[in-house]
Amino acid sequence: MYEEEIHKRRTFAIISHPDAGKTTLTEKLLLFGGAIHVAGAVKSNKIRKTATSDWMEIEKQRGISVATSVMAFDYGGHKINILDTPGHQDFAEDTYRTLTAVDSVIIVIDAAKGVELQTRKLMEVCSMRKTPVIVFVNKMDREGKDPFDLLDEIEKELRISVRPLSWPIDAGQRFRGVYNIYEEKLDLYAPSKQHVTESIAFADVRSPELEKHISPEQAVKLRADIELVDGVYPPFDAEDYLKGDIAPVFFGSALNNFGVKELLDCFLKIAPSPRAVGALERIVHPEEERFTGFVFKIHANMDPNHRSCIAFVKICSGRFERNANYKHVRQDKMMRFSSPTAFMAQKKETVDEAFAGDIIGLPDTGNFKIGDTLTEGEALHFKGLPSFSPEMFKYIENADPMKAKQLNKGIEQLMDEGVAQLFTNRFNGRKIIGAVGQLQFEVIQYRLLHEYGAQCRWEAASFYKACWIESANLLMLDNFMKRKAQYMATDREGRNVYLADSAYVLNMAQQDFPDIKFHFISEF
């Protein structure tokens, strides 16, 4: 019924290791869409490097970035929704969750640095979900790695097959542009920041015409490279890309606006419109008439005078309407939303309707938690993203005995927002918070005090990893849990979690209890 609206939507995220050029690329895409008119407008979105040790400053900047959490614009008959992801690695879980709300991903890689840690972790999430990815190798205007080596590195490190759809002509000072394999064009490089490239239709690099545009040495090299590319990589198949089996690769320079339009044009041709989403009960198709959606992110307002949040909802099917009644499935109650917001580039504005593929923000005062489903009445539960084993652990203790209730309430709500993970030690009942980075502990302590009037104290807990355990061999499981009683905990869903105190001990446990499965993500 709303097919036309839905099929023109492209909802995706740009991910990268910090500094590879995500912000710059996003900005250039917005310039093409006419959503912004000057370069530099997206910079406020970025957590400044000088502020990395001061998380209040980071939060302030994150506050600014609510408006740019989703950047929507129209381009070439499409409605594009770019979902922003926090650059700071301590908020990596936020990024993982955002990836549950996109239909595809563009990965930015720095040509000199190659595949970096954060990119690898994010790619793991994409692989788990079979999300189609396109790779943009950035900063070709600088000296970088050899393109063939880079492609090998991407295949090995990101564990995905690649297919270059453009090919660089030299790099650094001598960078001359790319041969656009996908469109059979020669895109020549002009290092001026706001201009689109000179582009010449060029079907066959073997033609002697090539020497008219690039130097003889470059022409010889390009011919040899293209021959090798065609020999090594199979022809591009869009179906394989959509299945998440192959990643097309483009080369360019975001800062110089080079190769960006080509990336965008190809992206619009091959990237998926909203895809079917799996709920526990059934698969939900975007074209279905009835509205369904789920909460993938909750952004708290850090201002203590306005203790409200914005719940970000990805619409999975149908059409969302302002002031209509929708069912909050977990709480089994009907709700109406009078001021849903959409995010047009830099502005937040109230919307009357939105369609599958869109993201809307719903003002909330504690009704929602991550993963909640909204429908027109059907009892559906969308499958979210499992939690990953945290990397840092601390005991959380009450520092003000008069405020135990406030503390517990605060902890529960912060966990609902997905700020960190809570485990309870089965042996002594102590509460353990697991997080990805130190900043999360600081955020929790500050927010407990300012929003709930509760004071907490951290105590060192030297755990190495949280492993969700299961076994068909109940005797062995029971035996293990007795032996490791001091290290056994439960997560918020009541599942058994073993908190290993070192890699060595974990290794021994895996050897001694072969029938027990140790999982490092919460769903298996």
**Interacting residue ranges for ligand G4P, rule: CB under 6 A:** 16, 18-24, 46, 87, 138-139, 141-142, 253-256
Contact 12, 102 (CB under 8 A): yes
**Cβ closer to ligand G4P: 260 or 415?**
260
Nearest distance from C-beta of residue 241 to ligand G4P, angstroms: 23
267 vs 294, beta carbon nearer ligand G4P: 267
> In the bound complex, what is the minimum distance in angstroms from residue 257's beta carbon to ligand G4P?
9
| Length of the chain counted residue by residue | 524
Count of helices and strands (H, E) across the chain: 13, 31
The distance of Cα 440 from the centroid of its chain, to the nearest Å, equals 18
Q: Which amino acid is at 277?
A: V
Of residues 112 and 238, the one with the C-beta less far from ligand G4P: 112
Shortest distance (Å) from residue 43 CB to ligand G4P: 6
112: number of Cβ within 10 Å: 16
Nearer to ligand G4P, 41 or 392 (CB): 41
Q: CB of 144: closest distance to ligand G4P in angstroms?
A: 10
Rounded to a whole number of angstroms, the minimum distance from the CB of residue 276 to ligand G4P is 31
Please say which residue, 66 or 521, places its beta carbon nearer to ligand G4P.
66
Provide the 10 A C-beta neighbour count for residue 84.
23
Least distance (Å) from ligand G4P to the CB of residue 195? 14
Which CB atom, from 50 or from 428, has the smaller least distance to ligand G4P? 50
Round to whole Å and give the CA distance between 296 and 96: 10
Q: Are the CB atoms for 360 and 320 separated by under 8 Å?
A: yes
- Taking the complex as a whole, how short is the minimal distance between the CB of residue 174 and ligand G4P, in angstroms? 14
CB closer to ligand G4P out of 193 and 269 = 193
Q: How far is CA 131 from CA 51, 100, 165, 312, 314, in A?
A: 33, 9, 19, 20, 16
* CA separation for the pair 437, 474 (Å, rounded): 35
Q: What Å distances lie between residue 383 and 83, 211, 233, 277, 312, CA to CA?
A: 20, 55, 35, 8, 16
Pairwise CA distance, residues 385 & 398, whole Å? 31
Please report how close the Cβ of residue 171 comes to ligand G4P at its closest, in angstroms: 11
Shortest Å, Cβ 16 to ligand G4P: 5
Minimum Å gap between C-beta 217 and ligand G4P is 23
C-alpha span between 170 and 143 (Å, rounded): 9
Nearer to ligand G4P (CB atom), residue 48 or residue 282: 48
Q: Which is nearer to ligand G4P, 143 or 184 (CB)?
A: 143
Closer CB to ligand G4P, 166 or 256, in the complex: 256
Strand partners, 312: 297, 361
Q: How far is the CB of 110 from ligand G4P (least distance, A)?
A: 8
Query: What is the 3-state secondary structure of 449-493?
Result: HHHHCCCEEEEECCCCEEEEEECCCHHHHHHHHHHCHHHEEECCC
For the CB of residue 116, give the shortest distance to ligand G4P in the complex, in Å: 10
> Any alpha helices (H) in 33-110, and if so which ranges?
55-65, 92-98
Beta strands in 261-375 (DSSP E): 277-278, 283-284, 292-300, 309-317, 319-321, 325-328, 333-336, 341-344, 347-350, 353-355, 359-364, 373-375
Query: Considering beta carbons, is residue 171 or 449 the nearer one to ligand G4P?
Result: 171
CB nearer ligand G4P, residue 17 or residue 275: 17
Strands (E) located in 358-445: 359-364, 373-375, 392-398, 421-425, 431-435
What is the C-alpha to C-alpha distance for residues 52 and 4, in angstroms, rounded to an integer?
A: 44
* 458 contact partners, CB below 8 Å, separation of at least 6: 394, 395, 396, 397, 441, 445
CA 491 to chain centre: 24
**Least separation in angstroms between CB 505 and ligand G4P:** 37
Non-local (6+) Cβ contacts of 449 within 8 A are: 455, 456
Name the residue among 37, 91, 247, 78 with its Cα closest to residue 157. 247
201: β partners: 185
Our CB check for ligand G4P shows the closer of 195 and 483 to be 195
